[in-house]
């Protein structure tokens, strides 16, 4: 792990992407398979491959406690170290550097041992058992390696390495075309296996596997209708933008599973959708949005929220908040009769449709004849029309709002599906552009009625270049009393440091923040401040890796500045 950590340091130290790629390629080339796989997975900034449903289940507070105990420092000293960098891994390295005696370098765990320890942490039940394994791992590691072990474990690597660069490094290391590496990575969802296939010249063998979720294609925000037509026109495809929970539905035989945006299996939360889809005849993958829905109409997001966070909804809740799966894309389909999978040497196979144009995917989606909600089924198809002018888009936008949807998703019918990318094939037009997804980094007790409740949130966006979290504002939470009480308990249990009233908390809670104007300001580390920020809602469906970036704040700032007075008023209207 020492060599891996030194590599990570060098990658972090250069901003030149070609140099990052070169450094990694050189490191990977001589590795034997057993080391190559965890080396690459860790470089992707996670303890397990993306398609792997395992999670270590170790909270930041436990990690901080383990490190403080090993270093023989009190939690206050650890909190101070954390404050300096707002980086848990760096804080761990910092406190461990002051251990009276450093461990024997010969005993530093290898990447293979670290991977085994991560698997053991996942298997251990309860924080004490997990902490013991982590403690043993960190005790044997030098400070630098210990810091990186924690960074990988918490998914906060922050060395300025996008997945695309890692794929480029794999391609360079083994002399394979980048496109083949990316395609294999996309299909398998496992960058470690992809590296192995690249090493052995077997990239063509990569297969899409059902029940291994693909990362979702994302949309880029656009300021106005004219720009949309200019970018994707002359004629664009326009769908309603539904305000629910994004989900990917996998189906094989009678087995159905639903995955959320963060690739977790959420099937048990929506048993009626699973049961409805089990009745169908085809095998494949749908992309769509789960919505609360009654009598052909969308229910407000708040209704759906009652069903989130519950492992299994009781029958009463299911009756109160019925749900529907609004399908808008078909990502894979069996090539057999009626869309059934074909038996291959490695098991049943479906055909990936990701590289086919949207127009073809939509046609095939419609041909599936999904049983619609109004016919007693659990499906709907996204509302789709075409538009050729800004005025037409504005009219469709107003109609979508009247259907209680959030805005529009504008898509290029010729575009392919690019998992995990905020491509230009999909543009989102929300008007309520003046919202940002931020992560809460600090909380404070409220005043008056809110006394005793941690109701004031300080939140941050991410610097895309360094991965660092940069504060952008502070707001009184607009959450319900019940949500506030629950979040207060959560923040109390996940406090990393205290400064008088202010608590530095584990940066994992994502909130959607609305505001009126963005201004340049030195008050916050991002260099921006928001006027009248308000927390619209919690975004449990988004991970801190998906929050808005400094670059999107900058482009929003420029957009709002370019005489876009009307946008500000429009967004205020859209939010009211
Ligand atoms: P945002 O959450 O604001 O970044 O917007 C992107 C999200 O819009 C996607 O992740 C989907 O959950 C959602 N969405 C709603 N309707 C559609 C649609 N018709 N096509 C694609 N995505 C949609």
Helix or strand run (H / E) with residue 502: strand 502-505
In 3D space, the residue among 304, 251, 307, 243 whose CA is nearest the CA of residue 275 turns out to be 251
Mean pLDDT of 555-574: 50
Mean pLDDT of 418-441: 81
Q: Can you give the pTM of this predicted structure? A: 0.81
Look at residue 303 in the predicted model and tell me its pLDDT.
Answer: 84
Mean pLDDT of 109-135: 96
Parallel, antiparallel, or unpaired for β 323-333 and 379-381? parallel
Look at residue 347 in the predicted model and tell me its pLDDT.
Answer: 84
CB atoms within 10 A of CB 206: 21
Q: Is 219 in the pocket of ligand 1 (CB under 6 A)?
A: yes
pLDDT band at 153 (very low <50, low <70, confident <90, very high): very high
Tell me the CA–centroid distance for residue 86 and ligand 1, in Å: 31
Helices H, strands E: what count in the chain?
21, 23
Instruction: Determine the residue of 405, 407, 409 to mutate for testing ligand 1's pocket, defined as the one with the most ligand atoms within 8 A of the Cβ atom.
Output: 409
**Strand locations in 354-479, DSSP E?**
379-381, 384-387, 407-411, 422-429, 435-445, 454-462, 469-476
Whether residue 541 contacts residue 246, with contact meaning beta carbons closer than 8 Å, is answered with: yes
Mean pLDDT of 313-323: 93
List domains and CATH numbers for the chain. 2-153 (1.10.3260.10), 218-429 (3.30.470.30), 435-575 (2.40.50.140)
Helix spans in 189-249 (H): 191-199, 225-232
Taking only the tens place, the pLDDT of each residue in 22-52 is 999 999 999 999 999 999 999 999 999 988 8
Whether residue 2 contacts residue 144, with contact meaning beta carbons closer than 8 Å, is answered with: yes
Residue 433 has pLDDT above 70, yes or no: no
Give the bridge partners for 332, in sequence order.
Answer: 285, 352
d(CA 208, CA 227): 36
Q: Is 251 in the pocket of ligand 1 (CB under 6 A)?
A: no
Percent of the chain's residues with pLDDT above 90:
65
In 3D space, the residue among 270, 278, 277, 272 whose CA is nearest the CA of residue 254 turns out to be 278
Taking only the tens place, the pLDDT of each residue in 299-309 is 877 788 888 86
Mean pLDDT of 358-367: 97
Residue 432 has pLDDT above 60, yes or no: no
Look at residue 562 in the predicted model and tell me its pLDDT.
Answer: 55
Q: Is 436 in the pocket of ligand 1 (CB under 6 A)?
A: no
Mean pLDDT of 335-342: 93
Residue 561 has pLDDT above 90, yes or no: no
| Secondary structure class of 263 (helix, strand, coil) | coil
Taking only the tens place, the pLDDT of each residue in 481-535 is 888 889 999 999 999 888 888 999 999 999 999 887 788 999 999 999 998 888 8
Look at residue 573 in the predicted model and tell me its pLDDT.
Answer: 37
Nearest CA residue ID for atom 18, ligand 1: 241
Mean pLDDT of the chain: 90
Look at residue 76 in the predicted model and tell me its pLDDT.
Answer: 84
Instruction: Determine the residue of 289, 331, 422, 537 to mutate for testing ligand 1's pocket, defined as the one with the most ligand atoms within 8 A of the Cβ atom.
Output: 289
pLDDT band at 566 (very low <50, low <70, confident <90, very high): very low
Mean pLDDT of 289-298: 90
Q: Is 242 in the pocket of ligand 1 (CB under 6 A)?
A: yes
Q: In this structure, what token pair is assigned to residue 489? A: 């308990």
Q: Which residues have C-beta within 8 Å of that of residue 319, sequence separation ≥ 6? A: none
**Strand locations in 174-322, DSSP E?**
218-221, 236-241, 245-252, 255-260, 284-294, 297-298
Whether residue 474 contacts residue 458, with contact meaning beta carbons closer than 8 Å, is answered with: yes
Taking only the tens place, the pLDDT of each residue in 242-265 is 989 999 999 999 999 999 998 889
Look at residue 565 in the predicted model and tell me its pLDDT.
Answer: 39
d(CA 7, CA 14): 11
Residue 434 has pLDDT above 80, yes or no: no
Residue 222 has pLDDT above 90, yes or no: no
Look at residue 452 in the predicted model and tell me its pLDDT.
Answer: 80
Which residues have a catalytic role annotated? 241
């Amino acid at each position: 792990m020492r060599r891996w950590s030194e590599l990570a340091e060098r990658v972090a130290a250069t901003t030149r992407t070609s140099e990052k790629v070169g450094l990694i390629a050189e490191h990977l080339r001589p590795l034997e398979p057993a080391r190559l796989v965890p080396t690459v997975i860790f470089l992707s900034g996670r303890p397990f491959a993306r398609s792997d449903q395992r999670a270590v289940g170790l909270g930041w507070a436990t990690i901080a406690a383990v490190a403080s105990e090993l270093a023989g420092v009190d939690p206050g000293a650890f909190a101070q170290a954390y404050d300096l960098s707002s980086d848990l891994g760096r804080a761990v390295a910092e406190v461990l550097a002051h251990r009276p005696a450093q461990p024997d370098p010969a005993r530093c765990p290898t990447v293979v041992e670290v991977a085994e320890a991560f698997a053991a942490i996942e298997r251990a039940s309860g924080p004490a058992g997990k902490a013991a394994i982590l403690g043993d791992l960190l005790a044997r590691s030098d400070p630098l390696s210990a810091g990186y072990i924690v960074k990988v474990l918490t998914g906060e690597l922050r060395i300025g390495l996008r997945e695309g660069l890692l794929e480029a490094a794999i391609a360079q290391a083994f002399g394979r075309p980048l496109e083949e590496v990316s395609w294999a990575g996309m299909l398998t969802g496992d960058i470690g296996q992809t590296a192995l296939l690249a090493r052995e010249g077997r990239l063509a063998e990569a297969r899409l596997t059902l029940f291994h979720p693909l990362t979702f294609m994302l949309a880029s925000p656009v300021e106005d209708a004219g720009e949309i037509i200019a970018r994707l026109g002359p004629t664009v495809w326009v769908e309603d933008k539904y305000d629910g929970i994004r989900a990917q539905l996998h189906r094989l035989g009678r087995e159905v599973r639903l995955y959320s945006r963060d690739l977790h299996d959420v099937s048990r939360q929506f048993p009626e959708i699973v049961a409805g889809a089990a009745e169908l005849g085809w095998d494949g993958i749908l992309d769509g949005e789960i919505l609360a829905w009654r009598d052909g109409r969308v229910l407000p997001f708040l209704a759906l929220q009652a069903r989130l966070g519950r492992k299994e909804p009781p029958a009463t809740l299911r009756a109160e908040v019925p749900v529907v799966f609004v399908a808008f894309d078909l990502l894979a389909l069996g090539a057999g009769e009626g869309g059934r999978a074909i038996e291959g040497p490695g098991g049943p196979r479906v055909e990936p449709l990701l590289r086919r144009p949207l127009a073809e995917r939509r046609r095939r989606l419609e041909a599936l004849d999904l049983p619609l909600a109004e016919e007693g089924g659990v499906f709907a198809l996204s509302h789709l029309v075409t538009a050729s002018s800004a005025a037409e888009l504005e009219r469709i936008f107003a109609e979508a709002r009247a259907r209680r949807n959030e805005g529009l998703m504008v898509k290029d019918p010729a575009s392919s599906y690019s998992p995990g990318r905020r491509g230009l094939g999909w543009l989102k037009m929300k008007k309520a552009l003046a919202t940002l997804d931020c992560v809460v980094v600090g909380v404070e007790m409220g005043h008056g009625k809110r006394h005793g409740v941690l109701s004031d949130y300080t939140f941050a966006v991410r610097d895309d270049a360094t991965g660092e979290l940069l504060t952008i504002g502070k707001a009184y939470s607009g959450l319900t009393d019940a949500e506030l009480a629950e979040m207060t308990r959560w923040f109390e249990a996940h406090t990393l440091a205290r400064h008088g009233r202010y608590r530095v908390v584990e940066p994992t809670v994502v909130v959607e923040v609305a505001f009126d104007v963005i201004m340049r300001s030195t008050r916050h580390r991002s260099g921006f401040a928001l006027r009248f920020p308000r927390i619209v809602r919690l975004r449990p469906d988004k991970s801190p890796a998906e929050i808005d970036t400094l670059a999107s704040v900058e482009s929003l700032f420029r957009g709002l500045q370019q005489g876009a007075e009307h946008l500000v008023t429009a967004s205020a209207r859209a939010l009211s």
